[in-house]
Structures are given as C-alpha cells and as structure tokens.
C-alpha cells in the first residue's frame, strides 16, 4: 500500500468529466402503464437544460430508439404548454399553423388529444427515429424555455 501516485495519472475522458441532472421520472406517476426509461429521460433533459450539445446529441440518439420515452418527453412538453396556455394552441397541433414546432411534434401532440394520451404513444411507435428526433427536439426546446422562465 506504500505506492504513491507518481505514475501516470489517468486523464478522464471528456464524457466522464461531467454529469447532467435533468428531470427524473421516478417520482412521477406513469400514465397508461407505459414504462419510459427514467435514466435516459434524465440524461436528455439534463443535457438540454445545461446546454451541453454533445451529451444532448448522444442522449437523443438513444432516446429516439425508444418510442415510449420519446412520447413521454413530448407528453410532458404538452403538459407544460397546456399549463401555460390553458390548451394546446394551433401552432402546436395544426400542421398548417405558423410556428416553430416541428410537424412531427404536432403530429404527436394531435395524437395525444383526447381522454387519454395513449394515442401519442401509439403514434410514436409508428414513427421512424428521425421523425421522433424532430418531435423530441421541439419538446426539449419547449421544456428548456419553460425551465428558463422559472429558475
Ligand atoms: Zn454534457
């Protein structure tokens, strides 16, 4: 045990030097029995909140392979929008209304209207990963904007 640390010190690789703490889903009741990946959700929202593009990109690549977790992200973004606006405005659901939300986000938001949001989950299962990515990007923009409003 008398070894000192004179040897080469292992340099941490960039992705090991920091961690992001986003929204955890563990404490949130899951609607409809869907089981999103809470760790993945935390990674993607944490990187987005902290503006870490490389981690966000890596987490998004994993996220979009997971339709349920992507749908959950969009669902939470819709919840934020409804909380602010009282309803889903046309710019978030109508493909022809002007606005920055991606058509894919609107498609999922539209599918989630109704008594339950199950339609959103089913619709997300039908999407390709790149469509999910477009939807997730709008959802993250929404959540990041919301988080910035209430520090
Ligand atoms: Zn990062």
Q: Which residues of the chain have pLDDT under 50?
A: 2
Question: What are the tokens at 126?
Answer: 């039908």
Query: What is the Å distance from ligand 1's center to 20 Cα?
Result: 6
pLDDT score recorded for residue 23? 85
Q: Tell me the domain boundaries of the chain.
A: 35-149
Using the Cα atoms of residue 102, residue 83, residue 111 and residue 94 in order, give the sign of their dihedral.
negative
Query: What is the Å distance from ligand 1's center to 53 Cα?
Result: 7
pLDDT score recorded for residue 26? 80
pLDDT score recorded for residue 24? 84
pLDDT score recorded for residue 3? 52
Query: What is the Å distance from ligand 1's center to 98 Cα?
Result: 33
Query: What is the Å distance from ligand 1's center to 19 Cα?
Result: 6
- Residue 88, exposed/middle/buried by CB under 10 A (0-12, 13-18, 19+)? middle
Number of helices and strands (H, E) in the chain? Answer: 7, 0
pLDDT score recorded for residue 150? 74
**CA separation (Å) from 50 to 6, 122, 148?**
36, 30, 10
Query: What is the Å distance from ligand 1's center to 1 Cα?
Result: 35
pLDDT score recorded for residue 91? 97
**Which pTM was predicted?**
0.86
């Amino acid at each position: 045990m008398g070894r000192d640390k004179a040897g080469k010190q292992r340099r941490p690789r960039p992705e090991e030097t920091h961690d992001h703490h986003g929204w955890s889903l563990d404490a949130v009741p899951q609607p409809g029995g869907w089981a999103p990946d809470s760790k993945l959700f935390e990674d993607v929202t944490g990187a987005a909140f902290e503006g870490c593009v490389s981690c966000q990109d890596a987490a998004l690549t994993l996220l979009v392979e997971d339709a349920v977790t992507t749908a959950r992200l969009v669902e939470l973004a819709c919840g934020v929008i409804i909380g602010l606006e009282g309803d889903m405005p046309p710019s978030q659901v109508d493909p022809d209304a002007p606005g920055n939300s991606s058509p894919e986000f609107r498609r999922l938001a539209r599918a989630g209207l109704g008594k339950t949001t199950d339609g959103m989950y089913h619709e997300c299962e039908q999407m390709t990963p790149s469509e999910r990515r477009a939807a997730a990007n709008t959802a993250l923009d929404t959540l990041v904007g919301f988080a910035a409003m209430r520090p």
